[in-house]
A and B are shown apart, each in its own frame.
Chain A
Amino acid sequence: EFVCLFSLVLLTVALGAQALTPSHHLSLSDVARLQALLSQPFTDLASAYYSIVGLSKLGASVADENDACHFLKAQLDPMSVDSLFFAAEASQAISDCEIPVSNETRDILLAAVSEDSTVTQIFRAVSALSSLGLPLASQEVVGALVARIAKEDNVLAITTALQTATRLSQQADFGGILEEIEDLAARLDDLGGVYLQFEEGLEATALFVTAAYTLSDHVDTEPPLKEDQVIQLVNSVFSKKSWQSLSEAFSVACAAAALSNNRFQVPVIVSAQGPATVSHNQPILQLLVTDVLSNPLASASVVVESAQAVVSKNVILTQAPFSLRDGIFELNFMTSQPASGYYQFSVAITGDTRLVASQVELKVKVSTEVAITNMDLSVVDKDQSIGTKTSRLGRKAHDSHQNFAMTFQLVDVNTGVELTPHQTFVRLHNHKTGQEVVFVAEPDSKNLYKFELDIAERKSEFDSMSGTYTLHLIVGDATLENPILWNVADIVLKFLDEEAPAAIQSKTLYMPKPDIQHLFREPEKKPPTVVSNAFTALVLSPFLLLLILWFKLGANISNFSLSPSAVLFHVGHACMLGLMYVYWTHLNMFQTLKYLAIIGSLTFLAGNRMLAQKAVKRYGLC
């Protein structure tokens, strides 16, 4: 069981370490913007409803209440359920505004509560009835709602049904409607583990949040939403900071009001006031602890559970409380004398069982000031090991036989501790040519910084340009309040083999390079046509010689028999030779073989016959 317990502890620690905290909420400027949007002049009853009720949710009110009331009464259409709803709800938000009610009104509203109306109609009728103080039968409403939910199975309809239930008597049997909260929550889309929202959009999500909390408060049952889900819903609803329509702004205002003031789950927002940095001049870390509407939670108590250095993992503080001053929680961190660097704060907010996301991780930077001490400049001859110490000011001339050395220490001004900042550079700059060479000074094991310049070795970096170079020491780090750029000295460098001042490499590095032209494969050189033609004639000339020789020898075709096979043979043979020519010019091997097979077989048969005849003629009849 010990293993089980251990793994359980490990699991909780792991889960706790990954606890989600809200990444979005309504800051004071966001709330102001929302209020401004809701304070638009009314165009119709619906916009009046959104504005008046929305503002009341944010704890504000319309500019002119009397005007608003008159507007509502003037725009009211007593025959329309929607109109009655808007007017009734809005009038409730304004003090001293009564909508006249007649029996007809009541009848119209009651008639709307039935299985045949849409959920929205039922909701508006029920709300109007309850705002106008008219009696209604809760059980009937529940029945109608349940029937409608079965038919209209979309998110908005069910959310509206939940809202309707909040207007009913607490003794009613809500039964199935309460379970809808959990069913709807299951339909939310998880985006990257950070956002949880309906695909129908922001308004649907915000209305769902409002309905879930209002109904849970109404029936005094904890809403079936886990902490992580609540945070994700907060992120979704408050990630959008400018709202496209009045109804969207209204839904966000309602959701914000529900999340900041319900009986079960109140998400808490913790942020540092200004940058989370402390130093000797500003030793106090200030935290803002508010709800989603940026209202400070005065009843909370804030405690640092642990403050751990990021690099060294030393725990500096445990269980240190913040003190509340003017709505801001403060802690003087410098009293613990932390070394400069980054610290991981684990902050817990207690004091209210409703708080959600009450464990927060914060990264705090402790910055300090640096001072350079024990600066030593020397010129060391390469053959010698002992250097001659010279004064810091003035110019020094060095040539290739000497090394230039610089040592110094960097200490924290306040504590005297040695520091190793991220950036310690030595920069040599030649004013005349604009050359700049930067070296890094590195600390040894005792945190003593050393920089040695071997002039002969480094001459390639200087392009062997002799001249006066200004030497700057640059010290910088994220945790330093006073980064240093110090012109330590001017040194004159003399290089033995000085090249002619060429254009500085870096300047041409970023200019366009010369174009590369593509070289196509050059065709081979052909001999002139005259030569080719001459040789063609020459090569064909022996044929003439052959004909002459044959003539001289007396070769003739007097024995040529005109038998059909002989004729066919010679014609076939001629065709074959012609085919060769055609093959050269037009055909490919396969076509040629095809024709050759046909012509060849014919020629062969004819030739066979012809030669046989010839043989017979020569040898006599055999």
Chain B
Amino acid sequence: MSNSVISVISRFLEEYTTKTSNKLKVVDAYLFYILLTGALQFLYCLLVGTFPFNSFLAGFILCVGAFILGVCLRIQINPDNKGDFLSISQERAFADFLLAHTVLHLVVINFIG
């Protein structure tokens, strides 16, 4: 059993490093960073406590939102998906990404207190 899991993982890693373009890897790195940040915030909350709760929520939701937007951007600029997003060019995807982020930041800063 464990053999198959290990073999699946190693196969996935191999395909990932060879097949994905650099641009996507850049976005993936960014997503990984966001993930880490969110996880660390959650860890703090578990360890130390929820005071001040609104700040924790703001930070966590920012991470979650940014992750989602990053995923959207990745989907939209992946050339393999070009068929699904005919009307949306890469620049347009990036612009949407920026706009959504502005709104997200506004809300989060309001909530962070």
Q: Which A residues are closer than 8 A to B by beta carbons?
A: 524-527, 531-532, 535, 538-539, 541-543, 545-546, 549-550, 553-555, 573, 576-577, 580, 583-584, 589, 592-593, 596, 600, 607-608, 611-612, 614-615, 618
Enumerate chain B residues within 8 angstroms of A545, measured Cβ to Cβ: 32-33, 36
A555 close to B106 (CB less than 8 A)? no
Contacting residues, chain A, for B26 (C-beta < 8 A): 550, 553, 555
Chain A binding site: helix, strand, loop or mixed by DSSP? helix
Write the chain B residue with the least CB distance to A584: B109
Q: Is the CB of A611 within 8 A of B94?
A: yes
Contact in complex: A611, B29 (CB < 8 Å): no
A584 lies within 8 A of B112 (CB): yes
Interface string of B40-78 (1 = CB under 8 A from A): 110010001101000000000000000000000000000
Q: Does B18 contact A (CB under 8 A)?
A: no
CB pairs A–B below 8 angstroms (9 shown): A532-B48, A535-B44, A545-B32, A546-B33, A580-B105, A583-B109, A584-B109, A596-B102, A600-B102
Among B25, B48, B98, the residue within 8 A (CB) of A607 is: B98
Q: Give chain B residues whose Cβ lies under 8 Å from the Cβ of A577.
A: 105
Question: Chain B nearest CB: distance from A45 CB in Å?
Answer: 93
How far, in angstroms, from A148 to B48 measured CA to CA in the complex? 101
What is the chain B residue whose CB lies nearest that of A600?
B102
The total of chain B residues at the interface (CB under 8 A) is 28
**B binding-site residues for A, Cβ under 8 Å:** 22, 25-26, 29-30, 32-33, 36-37, 40-41, 44, 48-49, 51, 89-92, 94-95, 98, 102, 105-106, 109-110, 112
Contact A607/B29 with A535-B48, A580-B105, A584-B112 known, Cβ cut-off 8 Å? no
Smallest CB–CB gap between A504 and chain B, Å? 51
B48 & A553 in contact (Cβ 8 Å cutoff): no
> What residues on B are CB-neighbors of A554 within 8 Å?
22
* Cβ contact within 8 Å between B48 and A546: no
Indicate if the CB atoms of B30 and A546 lie closer than 8 Å.
yes
- List chain A residues, Cβ under 8 A from B49: 527
A542 to B102, Cβ gap below 8 A?
A: no
Query: Which of B22, B98, B105 lies in contact with A553, CB distance below 8 A?
Result: B22
Least CB distance from B51 to A in Å reads: 5
The interface residues of chain B lying within 8 Å CB-to-CB of A531 are 48
Is the beta-carbon distance between B48 and A614 smaller than 8 angstroms? no
- Residues in chain B near residue A549, CB distance under 8 A: 29, 32-33
**A526-B51, A527-B49 known; A538 vs B95 contact (CB < 8 Å):** no
Interchain CB contact (< 8 A) of B91 among A550, A573, A611: A611
Task: State whether B22 touches A539 (Cβ < 8 A).
Answer: no
